[in-house]
Amino acid sequence: MTAEASGEELAFVKMHGLGNDYVYIDRFAEQTVFVPETLAPRVADRHRGVGGDGLILVEPSAVAAARMRMFNADGSESEMCGNGVRCVGHLVVSRGYVPAGEVTIETGRGVLTLGVTPTGPRSSQVRVDMGEPLLEPESIPARAEGLRQLVDVPATVLGSQADWWQAAGLDPRMTCVSMGNPHVIMFCDSVAAVPLEQVGPLVERHELFPRRINVHFVQRLEANRVRVRTWERGTGITQACGTGASAVCVAGALSGRTTATITAELPGGNLELTWDGRGSVFMTGPAEEVFSGVWPLTDASR
């Protein structure tokens, strides 16, 4: 008999980084068998489940302090989540698996190094070495014959000009960056004027992006400060996206719109980012526990 048929309960903790919230399963302590692709949409449901942007598993690793596996709210698995990895760092420190300070986490884009500083029993400030951005179209991936990079190229994914372009003051150029997962960035005068719930899913699933893509509209406030709204692949509009903010930092620096160090204002709060144009992007922000509970696996299997 499987765990899902036996009526067993699955322990979880709800955590968020700037409102980018996930249900976390500590696989160091929780050995119950389940199917994450099936469980993720159910626990992430904000009306009938725990509620969140998806499901993250924190597992033992042979090469790091822990391994992170991330599942979107639709059950699809993604390579990385910047806000999520900060929470994973907080979890392994707060539960005593590793001491505070430098912590390594295995992710879908390799092993990342975090600096975890507890700020309370249920929160930490975490600096993450997000790794080097990938700019080649095949690494994103994006279909772009004859181009070595997609930096400030025409935003053909938006189709013909729509009424909202003028209201948003859209610059119809885009930059594509992978931070281990794919991102497309477009600048405009007003992110609030972009009908993200309409535009986001169209760009996410455009044929140019064979594995879909995370979509970000960016408003430059100052040379070192931007405002960002995000449509996240497999989830929808989110309060924050750490890999996306990292990609925005890269796109701004490459196009000359921003400095190498920026503050990104996200709906859920601010992230600090820096990139020297050659190596890793560094991201700093909070991680916070919300509550713990148990999920009945019989419900998850229905």
Catalytic residue set: 81, 241
- The b-or-e profile of 85-118 (16+ CB within 10 A means b, else e) is bbbbbbbbbbeebbeeeebbbbbebeebbbbbee
Helix (H) or strand (E) holding 2: none
One-letter identity of residue 170 = L
Same domain, 233 and 294: no
Same domain, 116 and 143: no
d(CA 76, CA 70): 9
Q: Is the pTM of this model over 0.85?
A: yes
Number of domains in the chain: 2
pLDDT of residue 302: 42
Same domain, 275 and 150: yes
pLDDT of residue 1: 36
Same domain, 274 and 142: yes
State how far the alpha carbon of 12 is from the alpha carbons of 76, 237, 240, in Å.
Answer: 19, 24, 22
CATH of the domain at 240: 3.10.310.10
Same domain, 217 and 112: no
Secondary structure class of 63 (helix, strand, coil): coil
Whether residue 172 has a cis bond before it, omega within 30° of 0: no
Angular region, 159: left φ>0, alpha ψ -120 to 50, beta rest: left
Alpha helices in 7-113 (DSSP H): 36-44, 82-94
Tokens 């993604």 locate to 78
Q: Which residues of the chain have pLDDT under 50?
A: 1-5, 300-302
Q: Over the stretch 139-181, which tens digit does the pLDDT of each residue have?
A: 999 999 889 999 999 999 998 878 899 999 999 999 999 999 9
pLDDT of residue 6: 52
Same domain, 14 and 121: yes
Same domain, 93 and 121: yes
* Angle separating helix axes 242-255 and 82-94, nearest 10 degrees: 130
Same domain, 184 and 248: yes
Same domain, 16 and 88: yes
- DSSP symbol at 108: T
Helix (H) or strand (E) holding 93: helix 82-94
Whether residue 36 has a cis bond before it, omega within 30° of 0: no
Same domain, 113 and 189: no
Contact status, residue 92 vs residue 104, Cβ threshold 8 Å: no
d(CA 10, CA 120): 26
Same domain, 204 and 158: yes
Q: Which domain holds residue 270?
A: 137-279
Q: How far apart are the first and last CA of the chain?
A: 15
Tokens 């709060």 locate to 269
- DSSP symbol at 47: T
**For the chain, how big is the Rg over CA atoms in Å?**
19
Q: Over the stretch 262-271, which tens digit does the pLDDT of each residue have?
A: 999 999 999 9
Same domain, 127 and 145: no
pLDDT of residue 7: 67
